[in-house]
Amino acid sequence: MNGVIDLQLWQMAAAYLFIVILLFIVRARGISREREILVSTIRMTIQLILTGYILVFLFENINPLYTISVIAIMEAFAIYNIFTRTKVKLSRPLKNIIAFSMLFGTLSSLMFFLLVVINISPWYDPRYYIPIAGMLIGNSMTGISLGVNRLVDGMISQRHLVESALMLGATPKMAAKDYVNNAFDAAILPTVNSMVGMGIVFLPGMMTGQILSGISPITAIEYQIAIMLGIVGSVALTVILFVQLGYKTFFNEHSQLIISD
């Protein structure tokens, strides 16, 4: 079948039946999630509609300033989201490390992917730049969030072990090594696991969208493989930057642990 099936308004409305079913289930089970589900559904709908119109404008008015502005907003929102989603209190130095890791890791990965792997021209073409940036930034945001929680929790809950190692002559790097490694492992595991079932258990959203739009499945697969590898690289780079720099914020210049009770 050629072409794209244009969904009518009633067809879009019919899809919300799944939300009605979900609301019925949580209500029947006595789970207090109705308001959260409704708010999430409404926000998702409004945000995607607005995004659609913004993308139409950007695609019709290609301008590097517009593209850079959108990426800056995405980065700022991702960093803010990490701060708010973290269950523990973050120090100012740790927040700075998070911001730096996100910006350097995602932007360097994004530029390499667009300029070397895809080789787009112009480099600021929003049709490629924005969707790919969204995937790299979004997955890196999730990775950093997991890494932050695991690192901070490990350093606080096992502070007695860290202090014991320091008293025995270990450097801060040696004393924090296990918690740094655990944080990195926890952060990249979801991304690695998603690759295991990809293509067999499920088809990724981007690949499905390309196939539905009429693109050859082989071309869609090529893009999906490249983008998945880009996501892995972006997550790995952002997280390793964070854990390697972040653990240092728990020590002072005298190699003493400065975690407060």
Q: Is the pLDDT of residue 261 over 80?
A: no
Q: Is the pLDDT of residue 242 over 90?
A: yes
Q: Is the pLDDT of residue 90 over 70?
A: yes
Task: Specify whether the CB–CB gap between 105 and 234 falls below 8 A.
Answer: yes
Question: Per-residue pLDDT averaged across 95-122, rounded?
Answer: 93
Q: Is the pLDDT of residue 12 over 60?
A: yes
Tell me, what's the pLDDT at 4?
67
Residues 6+ apart with CB under 8 A from 252: 258
Q: What are the backbone angles phi and psi of residue 34, rounded to the nearest 5°?
A: -60, -50
Tell me, what's the pLDDT at 3?
60
44-62 core/surface letters (b: 16 or more CB in 10 A; e: else): eeeeeeeeeeeeeebeeee
Burial class (CB in 10 A: 0-12, 13-18, 19+), 91: middle
Q: Is the pLDDT of residue 93 over 50?
A: yes
Q: Is the pLDDT of residue 206 over 70?
A: no
For 213-233, what is each residue's pLDDT tens digit?
A: 777 888 888 888 898 999 999
Q: Is the pLDDT of residue 21 over 70?
A: yes
Average pLDDT in the chain? 89
Distance CA 232, CA 241 (A): 14
For 157-178, what is each residue's pLDDT tens digit?
A: 888 899 899 898 899 999 999 9
pTM (two decimals): 0.84
Q: Is the pLDDT of residue 212 over 90?
A: no
Q: Is the pLDDT of residue 184 over 90?
A: yes
Distance CA 52, CA 12 (A): 15
Question: In the chain, where are the structural domains located?
Answer: 1-61, 63-250
Question: Per-residue pLDDT averaged across 110-122, rounded?
Answer: 91
* Closest listed residue to residue 79, CA positions, set 57, 46, 58, 103: 103
Q: Is the pLDDT of residue 1 over 50?
A: no
* Closest listed residue to residue 189, CA positions, set 243, 151, 139: 139
Assigned token pair, 75: 């980065």
Question: Per-residue pLDDT averaged across 69-96, rounded?
Answer: 91
Residue type, 173: K
Q: Is the pLDDT of residue 125 over 50?
A: yes
Distance CA 77, CA 74 (A): 5
Q: What percent of the chain has pLDDT over 90?
A: 61
Distance CA 141, CA 115 (A): 22
Residues 6+ apart with CB under 8 A from 126: 55, 58, 59, 62, 66, 67, 70
Q: What percent of the chain has pLDDT over 70?
A: 95
Q: Is the pLDDT of residue 128 over 60?
A: yes
For helices 126-157 and 92-112, angle between their N-to-C axes, nearest 10 degrees? 150
